């Protein structure tokens, strides 16, 4: 993954996002339901996309000052139009390179951190944007996402290939990073499943709601390849279904404990998470 391609894909397909983002919307509802504190007054949302989770934040915290940012200008344009009367400040910015002077008592994100190039630096950087005892809550897709598709691709090509979810961070790494700079760390895992009429529908969903995947690009998915993979898919699973591994994470700003969790966080994903 690279940032330019991520921004380009999200902007190019922003107009289709809401049509294909049913799993992301479900994650948003589950994330907001798990947030018990109702006293947040200054909220920063990272990776707001077209504003679906932003709307839930506004409904849950009607008096809060909400700043929502996204790397895609087209996503922000849609979110602004959708929530134009909700008194929300929208910013086009890279969530890994935030330059804001104000501090927030709540930083949150729904289904966007899996696209970050350096999750550790980003999360530990958010600590400096939080007020004392400020809170962090986010959902993130894990490496078992699209496991059915990845298994079929590997079997078909008889080699170790996968789409972008193979690079997603596992629970152990997330936990280690959070414990390095936060307290009260809680991570809940859920595996959501969605069924599709065919493989092409699943590929469209991946294209229109993510960075595109390593293989979901023009020229790779030929008609014959899709037909053969779909037949293999149905022989193995009886239908075209996709698993989404989701981690719902919460923590609060705490005292820095030098070296805590550092060793785990610095280990490679291959060693910590195992091969996916």
The rounded percent of the chain whose pLDDT value lies above 90 is 75
For residue 39, the model assigns a pLDDT of 87
Distance CA 93, CA 87 (A): 19
> Quick check: 10 pLDDT over 90?
yes
H or E stretch covering 38: none
Q: Is the four-CA dihedral 78, 146, 276, 274 of positive or negative sign? A: positive
Q: Which residue has the tokens 């065919």?
A: 198
Query: Does some domain include residue 214?
Result: no
The phi-psi region of residue 246 (left if phi > 0; otherwise alpha if psi is between -120 and 50; otherwise beta) is beta
The larger pLDDT score, comparing residue 30 to residue 157, is at: 30
Confidence bin at 211 (pLDDT 50/70/90): low
> Quick check: 110 pLDDT over 50?
yes
Query: Does some domain include residue 212?
Result: no
For residue 4, the model assigns a pLDDT of 85
Query: Does some domain include residue 203?
Result: no
Contacts for 255 with CB less than 8 Å, ≥ 6 apart = 183
Query: Does some domain include residue 32?
Result: yes
The rounded percent of the chain whose pLDDT value lies above 70 is 88
How many domains are contained in the chain?
1
Query: Does some domain include residue 220?
Result: no
Q: What is the pLDDT of residues 60-106, one digit of tens each?
A: 999 999 999 999 999 999 999 999 999 999 999 999 999 999 999 99
pTM here is 0.90
DSSP letter (8 states) at residue 236: H
For residue 276, the model assigns a pLDDT of 46
For residue 246, the model assigns a pLDDT of 98
Confidence bin at 215 (pLDDT 50/70/90): very low
Query: Does some domain include residue 45?
Result: yes
- The parent domain of residue 102 ranges over 3-142+167-192+246-273
The phi-psi region of residue 259 (left if phi > 0; otherwise alpha if psi is between -120 and 50; otherwise beta) is left
Q: Which CATH number covers residue 63?
A: 3.40.50.150
Query: Does some domain include residue 225?
Result: no
Query: Does some domain include residue 152?
Result: no
- The greatest distance separating any two alpha carbons of the chain, rounded to the nearest whole angstrom, comes to 57
């Amino acid at each position: 993954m690279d940032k330019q391609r991520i921004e380009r894909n999200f902007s190019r397909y922003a107009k289709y996002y809401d049509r294909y983002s049913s799993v992301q919307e479900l994650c948003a509802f589950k994330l907001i339901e798990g947030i018990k504190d109702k006293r947040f007054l200054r909220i920063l949302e990272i990776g707001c996309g077209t504003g679906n989770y932003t709307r839930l934040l506004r409904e849950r915290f009607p008096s809060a000052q909400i700043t929502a940012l996204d790397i895609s200008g087209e996503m922000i344009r849609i979110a602004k139009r959708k929530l134009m009367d909700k008194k929300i400040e929208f910013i086009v910015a890279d969530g890994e390179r935030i330059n804001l002077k104000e501090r927030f008592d709540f930083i949150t994100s729904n289904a966007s951190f899996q696209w970050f190039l350096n999750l550790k630096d980003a999360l530990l950087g958010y600590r400096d944007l939080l007020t004392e005892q400020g809170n962090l809550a986010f959902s993130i897709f894990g490496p078992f996402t699209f496991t059915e598709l990845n298994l079929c691709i590997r079997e078909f090509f008889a080699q170790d290939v996968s789409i972008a979810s193979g690079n997603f961070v596992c629970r152990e790494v997330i936990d280690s990073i959070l414990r390095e700079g936060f307290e009260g760390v809680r991570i809940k895992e859920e595996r959501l499943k969605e069924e599709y009429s065919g493989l092409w529908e699943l590929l469209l969903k991946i294209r229109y709601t993510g960075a595109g995947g390593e293989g979901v690009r023009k020229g790779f998915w030929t008609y014959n390849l899709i037909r053969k993979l779909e037949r293999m898919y149905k022989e193995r699973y009886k239908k075209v279904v996709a698993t989404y591994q989701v981690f719902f994470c919460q923590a609060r700003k705490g005292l820095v404990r030098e070296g805590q969790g550092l060793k785990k966080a610095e280990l490679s994903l291959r060693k910590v998470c195992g091969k996916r």
